[in-house]
Amino acid sequence: MRETLHLHQHLDGERFWADVEAQAAIGALETGGIRRLALDDADVAARLWLIDQAGPLGCTAFYDDLGNVFLRREGSEPELAPLLIGSHLDSQPNAGAYDGALGVVARLAVLRALHDAGAAHDRPVEVVAWTNEEGARFAPGASGSSWFAGTREREAIVAAEDDEGMPFGAALEHCLARLSASGAAHRPAPYRPHAFLELHIEQGPVLESLGCPVCVVTGIQGVTWYEVEVQGQANHAGTTPAAARQDAFMGAHRLIGALREAAETQDEALRFTIGKFRLWPDSVNTIADLARFTIDLRHPDPAVLDTLDKAFQRLAEEDWEGCRVTLGVSSRVAPVAFDAALLEALEASVASEWPEAPQIVSGAFHDAIHLARCCPTAMLFTPCRKGISHHPDEHIEKAEAVIATRALVRAVDRLLAS
């Protein structure tokens, strides 16, 4: 192992924060939040902004067949598998400015530190912004990273449609054309990184409650997404007697009550969320003939997710106001435990910044949940105020974000020296 480069001494906190604010302006809403839905114009603008940073840093910008954007800092041994660090730039519909983006900007700070230090290293370093981590516009999430890691096929991903019927594939073609026009090089095939690191906001209350600016994340809980359809019969709201109705709303309403009851049989670690609910024909005086809703189910123990999956499938087969129910799984990702050796390197880096930092299992999923299935992977968290996220009130403190980014720089330094 060679001497580390003391890269952390080259972290320019002011420049880092200027980048955080530059990113936050892309897709900014008047209400104070941001909206950068996967592959929309604001999301593409954020990627183009990242590509623009490559040249001055002596890096090369690439994009792949899923629109993942990479900045590569060459090493003296270019054939070595790169150390990959990254996160995502897309957001929820009415989001804060730090979920994902903080991680991408912190990586930029790593490249700036390497550049300012005139660092020589054998292994290439790559920064990546993954496509469609959130899954808010096109379900399921983590499209770019799951394809790159080999856990999902491109065909299935591009077939997804948004609520307006726009296919992922069409939005992707538009994005790839913009990335190509930017001068970034096209690199079709994924590769197997030497290791993957992700710094992300915690999106929970633990670190803030401890006054801790950074910690190691040891794994991510499991997550299953369902799409449920309740098919009834439209009819006149004023003339149709109760006994003659097949009311999709009432069927969905009762079914949701039963699903929730099944979920409540599990421990308080379970997370059961219905985030989308739509009715057709969506008219005040017509009985709904179709209800569609989603379920987001999470737990650290795969056995619990499996038990509830069976219970949900059984409930879907029962009669709900004479309607027909289909319950489909749009995403099922098992929990991951991150790589022990990588965690050790991260722990040492975090301890240099904050000796008494805790270790956390992430309640939110991240691109790292897929990368962990193709290379040694681990994460760092930094706090957000009151743990609020997926909301315009999402907030981070500059001083804490700089400490967390310095821990990331130390980890990269340590891994490049090993």
Rounded distance between C-alpha atoms, residue 253 and residue 291, angstroms:
9
CB of 415 to ligand HGY, least distance (A): 25
Pick one of 100, 124, 135, 204: the residue that binds Mn ion (CB under 5 A).
Answer: 100
CB of 135 to ligand HGY, least distance (A): 6
Contact between 202 and Mn ion by CB under 5 A: the answer reads no
Q: Which is nearer to ligand HGY, 90 or 247 (CB)?
A: 90
Which residue lies nearest ligand HGY, judged by its C-beta? 364
**Is residue 35 within 8 Å of residue 42, measured between CB atoms?**
yes
3-state SS assignment for residue 31: coil
CB of 391 to ligand HGY, least distance (A): 12
For tokens 């079914």, name the residue. 255
**Interacting residues with ligand HGY (CB under 6 A):** 133-134, 141, 364-365
CB of 133 to ligand HGY, least distance (A): 6
Alpha helices by DSSP H, 168-274: 168-181, 206-210, 248-263
Q: Which is nearer to ligand HGY, 70 or 365 (CB)?
A: 365
Q: Which is nearer to ligand HGY, 142 or 404 (CB)?
A: 142
The residue type at 267: D
Cα distances (Å, whole numbers) of residue 398 to 123, 143, 350, 411? 30, 30, 17, 20
CB of 222 to ligand HGY, least distance (A): 11
- H/E element, 275: none
Q: How far is CA 75 from the centre of its chain?
A: 28
Pick one of 99, 126, 400, 413: the residue that binds Mn ion (CB under 5 A).
Answer: 99
Q: Which is nearer to ligand HGY, 316 or 364 (CB)?
A: 364
Q: Tell me the pairing of strands 125-130 and 324-333.
A: unpaired
Q: Which is nearer to ligand HGY, 19 or 133 (CB)?
A: 133
Q: Which is nearer to Mn ion, 253 or 395 (CB)?
A: 395
Rounded distance between C-alpha atoms, residue 26 and residue 81, angstroms:
32
Torsion of CA 348, 354, 359, 363, to 10 degrees: -120
CB of 59 to ligand HGY, least distance (A): 27
Binding segment toward Mn ion, per CB under 5 A, in 93-101, 118-126, 148-156, 247-255: 93-101
- Determine the Cα angle at 312 with ends 306 and 317, to 5°: 135
- The residues that touch Mn ion, with contacts defined as CB under 5 A, are 99-100
